[in-house]
């Protein structure tokens, strides 16, 4: 209990810090005017594009699940993504990342450890895809220098976060691949680390590790590896498309490729384990809008509040509808994730 309280307190403190930097030095009357001063008709038209990534993520996920079960229902994968993001939006600690695979594993009668392993792979490739997009954007600077230039500080910031992302993603990927190619040594190493724990817990942990490694079977060939990269491109190009449309709600008609660094920054913020991505996503969104596109701080805050609220509301409405239809409560799926975490 004490550990849980300390962890929650730490996450709330982190959230408060980012909220402070998000809202500082803004005129709230101007923020309000930007919140309500949207093209309402166009805003309503883009709402259906908000959940687009649930469908592209589900299509990509199917390829990771094939070695375990070939006929996983596509709709169940879509539902699992929506329920997972709903939990992530409403609770701290990225709990939805655990709920998502457990929900699908129960629906499809699959091994939980295996499905959790595929979700870890998803997140690694999400980081890689965004880092790759950012790298291509920075390398292509000579092509767009004539009509768009980055401020030196913004360029340094993007380069720094790009290197951080590459470093973290590379480390996790190498560790994951090492576990797959040196399976027995990896299991032996885990067995050594948990040998002093109770037998039941130790056996459960070792079984989970074996199932997790099984979840990496999709990458048995180079072709599979590059296919998954291509599918990750599809997922994130869809995300970029939605934000590109959202900027148009405010009359900001940016070239599509100029959304790449903004999406990268919001991904960094959304990766932080704050409740509902509050604070982290918001601060990095404001940072991107002001430093990349020169928007005034109050406008950046107003736009961020609108797009963040849109995503939370749409996702949670869909998530609640799915859970209600299946006779599940939010508390039940929350406990589902907490049980696996502990």
Average pLDDT over residues 105-121: 88
Residue 2 lies in a domain: no
- Token duo for residue 203: 């056996």
Residue 1 lies in a domain: no
Q: For 278-319, what is each residue's pLDDT tens digit? A: 999 999 999 999 988 989 999 999 999 999 999 999 999 999
- Token duo for residue 305: 């509040």
Residue 262 lies in a domain: yes
User: Does the pLDDT of residue 186 top 90, yes or no?
Assistant: no
Average pLDDT, the chain: 86
323-to-48, 80, 326, 327 alpha-carbon distances in Å: 20, 10, 5, 6
Other Cβ atoms less than 10 A from the Cβ of 254: the count is 15
Other Cβ atoms less than 10 A from the Cβ of 10: the count is 12
B/e letters for 136-155, b = 16+ CB within 10 Å, e = fewer, are: ebeeeeeeeeeeeebeeebe
Other Cβ atoms less than 10 A from the Cβ of 93: the count is 19
Q: For 54-72, what is each residue's pLDDT tens digit? A: 999 999 999 889 888 889 9
d(CA 265, CA 283): 9
- Token duo for residue 306: 């609108």
Residue 118 lies in a domain: yes
Q: Say what the pTM is.
A: 0.86
User: Does the pLDDT of residue 163 top 80, yes or no?
Assistant: no
**pLDDT reported for residue 33:** 92
What share of the chain in percent tops pLDDT 90? 44
**pLDDT reported for residue 149:** 74
d(CA 222, CA 338): 36
Residue 147 lies in a domain: yes
Q: Which of 116-120, 213-217, 326-330 has the lowest mean pLDDT?
A: 213-217
Range of the domain at 163: 10-341
pLDDT higher for 185 or 240? 240
Residue 228 lies in a domain: yes
Q: How many domains is the chain built from?
A: 1
Residue 327 lies in a domain: yes
d(CA 85, CA 280): 16
Q: What is the DSSP string of 288-314?
A: HHHHHH---HHHHHHHHHHHHHHHHHH
């Amino acid at each position: 209990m004490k550990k849980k309280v300390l962890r929650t307190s730490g996450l709330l403190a982190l959230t408060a810090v980012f909220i402070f930097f998000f809202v500082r030095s803004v005129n709230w009357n101007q923020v309000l005017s930007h919140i309500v001063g949207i093209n309402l008709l166009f805003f309503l038209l883009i709402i259906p594009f908000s959940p687009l990534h649930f469908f592209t993520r589900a299509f990509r996920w199917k390829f990771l699940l094939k070695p375990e079960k070939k006929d996983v229902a596509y709709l169940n994968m879509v539902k699992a993504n929506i329920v997972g993001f709903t939990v992530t939006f409403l609770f701290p600690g990225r709990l939805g990342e655990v709920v998502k695979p457990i929900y699908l594993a129960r629906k499809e009668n699959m091994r939980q450890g295996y499905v959790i392993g595929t979700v870890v792979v998803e997140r690694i490739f999400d980081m890689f895809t965004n880092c790759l997009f950012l790298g291509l954007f920075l390398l292509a600077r000579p092509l767009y220098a004539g009509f768009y230039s980055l401020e030196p500080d913004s360029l340094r910031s993007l380069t720094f976060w790009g290197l951080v992302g590459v470093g973290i993603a590379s480390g996790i990927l190498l560790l994951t691949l090492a576990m797959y190619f040196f399976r027995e040594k990896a299991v032996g190493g885990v067995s050594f680390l948990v040998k002093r724990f109770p037998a039941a817990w130790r056996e459960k942990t070792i079984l989970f590790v074996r199932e997790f490694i099984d979840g990496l079977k999709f990458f048995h060939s180079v072709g599979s590896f590059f296919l998954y990269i291509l599918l990750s491109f599809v997922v994130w190009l869809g995300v970029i498309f939605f934000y590109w449309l959202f900027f148009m709600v405010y009359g900001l008609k940016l070239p599509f490729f100029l959304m790449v660094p903004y999406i990268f920054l919001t991904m960094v913020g959304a990766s932080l384990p704050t409740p509902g991505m509050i604070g982290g996503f918001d601060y990095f969104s404001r940072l991107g809008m002001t430093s990349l596109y020169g928007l005034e701080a109050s406008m950046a805050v107003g736009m961020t509040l609108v797009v963040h609220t849109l995503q939370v509301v749409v996702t949670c409405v869909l998530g609640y509808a799915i859970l209600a239809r299946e006779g599940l409560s939010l508390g039940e799926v929350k406990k589902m994730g907490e049980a696996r975490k502990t």
